[in-house]
Amino acid sequence: MDELPHFNADGGSHMVDVSGKPVTHRQAVASARVVMQASTLQLIQQGQAEKGNVLEVARLAGIMAAKRTGDLIPLCHPLPISSVNIELFGEAPDTLVIRSQVGTEGKTGVEMEALVAASTAALTVYDMVKSADRGVVIERVQLEHKSGGKTGVWNREGQVDR
C-alpha cells in the first residue's frame, strides 16, 4: 500500500526500512499557535520582563521533546538531531506563535521532530497559564518547510513570514 507506507502488505504496522537511503542534510520548520485571552498574553509578556519566563520554559520543553520524538511517535526512526531552534512571538493581541526549526544529517527527515517540538512547547504554555485561562486553544500545528532527502524542498503555501 504505497499511500500508507507504515503498513505492509498484510496491514501490519512496521518501521519502514531506510537502510538504503543516503545520509543527507535535512531540515524542517513547523509552527503552532496558542490562542488565549489578550490579558493572558499580556501576563506572559510582562512575566518575561519581571516575574517568570513562560517562553523560556516552553522553549526548553520543546527542545527536549524533539530529542524524544522516536520514543513518542511509534513508527518514527530514532535520529541524531544536529540543531533545534524555537522562537515564540506574539502575532496578535491574543495569539502566540511558536516556530521550531530542526536539522539533522540522516536517512529520514525531521518533520516529526519539528512538529513534536512546536506542539510540546504549545502544551507547556497551556500548562503554565491554565489556572488563569483554561479555555486556551492550540491552533494550526503544521509543517511549514522541509528540505533534504529524495523529495527535496517543500514549502507550505502562504507560509508564516517573518
Q: Which of residues 86-115 bind a second copy (CB under 8 A)?
A: 86-88, 103-107, 111-112, 115
154 makes contact with a second copy (CB under 8 A) = yes
**CB nearer to a second copy: pick between 141 and 161:** 141
In degrees and rounded to multiples of 5, residue 23 shows phi and psi of -80, 120
Count of CB atoms situated within 10 Å of the CB of 152: 9
Q: Does 4 show up as a binding residue in the annotation?
A: no
Contact set for a second copy, span 127-146 (CB under 8 A): 127-132, 134-143, 146
Task: Give the integer Cα–Cα distance in Å for 136 and 119.
Answer: 14
CA distance 83 to 65: 13
Choosing from 2, 71, 127, 161, which is the catalytic residue? 127
Nearest to 66 by CA among 108, 35, 103, 33: 103
127 is catalytic: yes
Query: Which residues from 11-40 bind a second copy, rule CB under 8 A?
Result: 11-19, 25
